[in-house]
């Protein structure tokens, strides 16, 4: 609070002296001042279902804070849940695999013993019989391989059904505040139709324009401070100042104004910043935090 008061006091002294703030008076000032900037949300999304259906529930309401991964809505899913239960049962069923393994063991053992018998006494078992036993052994091994393949197929089908089941649930992609609820329980929704809108209010974007010459002094990552400008604000209400960093300098010059669009990300530490608020942005073009401290912005 003390550093905010110090900033305001310095501005008042300059104003009473009939001058302008020093950041405007010096062309090579270490702090660039943008008098007209506007805040906007960075992360805002209209959440929708990945399929057409009827809403079974909407679990959030406007103004509620949700965490990343939280369920916000669900479609009716009785049929897909039954299909998932069937897939689970099919995956648990390994009877064919166990039988094929036992049959392969027996057929292989029978063939190997017959070969040993003939090695001891040639001709005891005919060549045709040995071929039949070898074929039975190879067939049993192939049946074992097929049983393993069927079990793997059941696993993949279960994963497919589970993936389909997940599309019946709408989840929050990040932590934020519910801005709007467009649909209610029992309403039909189409694939991609907005159900709930959420926004992350932890960070906002302060956007404005700088002169071409000032833009050449800017680099992403530079320290900034943003201060709101609220018409009709009580004299007893100290303007709040928020810290942030410069994140974007547009590689384009407006052909009419010869200015360059820039924006910075500002931390909404006290949750008082709102989408659409206007204010002043200060950018330290050298020495970062030290420059801002010299300008009166003390943490």
Stretch 4-28: mean pLDDT, rounded? 41
Joined together, the tokens standing for residue 22 give: 């020093």
Helices (H), the chain: 2-16, 22-25, 78-92, 95-120, 127-166, 212-215, 288-294
With 0.95 as the threshold, say if the pTM is over it. no
Q: How confident is the model over 17-72, as pLDDT tens digits?
A: 433 343 343 446 789 999 999 999 999 999 999 999 999 999 999 999 999 999 99
Using a pLDDT cut of 70, give the percent of the chain over it.
85
* Choice between 121 and 11, residue whose per-residue pLDDT is larger: 121
Rg (CA), the chain: 36
- What letters, b where the CB count within 10 A reaches 16 and e where it falls short, cover 87-121? beebbeeeeebeebbebbeebbeebeebeeebeee
Stretch 245-261: mean pLDDT, rounded? 95
- What is the rounded end-to-end Cα distance, in angstroms, of the chain? 9
pLDDT, residue 165, reads 95
Q: How far is CA 90 from CA 77, 79, 190, 299, in A?
A: 20, 17, 32, 63
Query: How sure is the predictor about 103, in pLDDT bands with cuts at 50, 70 and 90?
Result: very high
- What letters, b where the CB count within 10 A reaches 16 and e where it falls short, cover 181-190? bebeeeeebe
pLDDT, residue 26, reads 42
The answer to whether the beta carbons of residues 264 and 218 sit under 8 Å apart is no
Give the whole-angstrom CA distance, residue 211 versus residue 216: 9
**Residue 237, helix vs strand vs coil:** coil
Q: Residue 6: count other Cβ atoms within 10 Å of its Cβ.
A: 14
Q: How confident is the model over 153-165, as pLDDT tens digits?
A: 999 999 999 999 9
Q: Residue 265: name the closest of 40, 31, 4 by CA.
A: 40
Strands 176-181 and 65-66: antiparallel
Q: How confident is the model over 107-148, as pLDDT tens digits?
A: 999 999 998 888 887 778 888 998 999 999 999 999 999 999
pLDDT, residue 12, reads 36
């Amino acid at each position: 609070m003390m550093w905010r008061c110090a900033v305001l006091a310095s501005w008042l002294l300059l104003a009473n002296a009939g001058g302008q703030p020093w950041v405007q008076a010096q062309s090579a000032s270490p702090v660039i001042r943008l008098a007209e900037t506007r805040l906007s949300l960075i992360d805002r999304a209209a959440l929708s279902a990945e399929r057409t259906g009827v809403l079974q529930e909407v679990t959030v309401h406007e103004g509620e804070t949700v965490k990343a991964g939280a369920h916000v809505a669900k479609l009716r899913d009785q049929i897909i849940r039954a299909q998932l239960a069937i897939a689970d049962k099919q995956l648990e069923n390994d009877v064919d695999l166990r039988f094929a393994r036992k049959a392969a063991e027996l057929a292989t053992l029978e063939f190997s013993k017959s070969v040993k018998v003939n090695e001891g006494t040639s001709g005891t078992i005919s060549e045709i019989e040995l071929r039949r036993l070898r074929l039975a052994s190879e067939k049993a091994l192939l049946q074992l391989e097929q049983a393993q393949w069927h079990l793997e197929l059941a696993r993949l089908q279960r994963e497919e059904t589970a993936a389909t089941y997940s599309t019946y649930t709408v989840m929050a992609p990040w932590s934020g505040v519910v801005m709007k609820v467009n649909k209610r329980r029992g309403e039909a929704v189409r694939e991609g139709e907005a159900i709930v809108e959420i926004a992350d209010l932890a960070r906002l974007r302060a956007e404005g324009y700088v002169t071409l010459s000032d833009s050449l002094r800017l680099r992403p990552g530079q320290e900034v401070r943003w201060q709101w400008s609220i018409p009709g604000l009580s004299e007893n209400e100290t303007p709040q100042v928020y810290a942030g960093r410069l994140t974007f300098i547009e590689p384009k010059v407006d052909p009419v104004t010869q200015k360059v669009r820039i924006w910075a990300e500002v931390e909404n530490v006290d949750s008082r910043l709102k989408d659409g608020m206007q204010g002043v942005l200060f950018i330290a073009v050298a020495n970062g935090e030290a420059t801002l401290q010299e300008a009166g912005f003390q943490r």
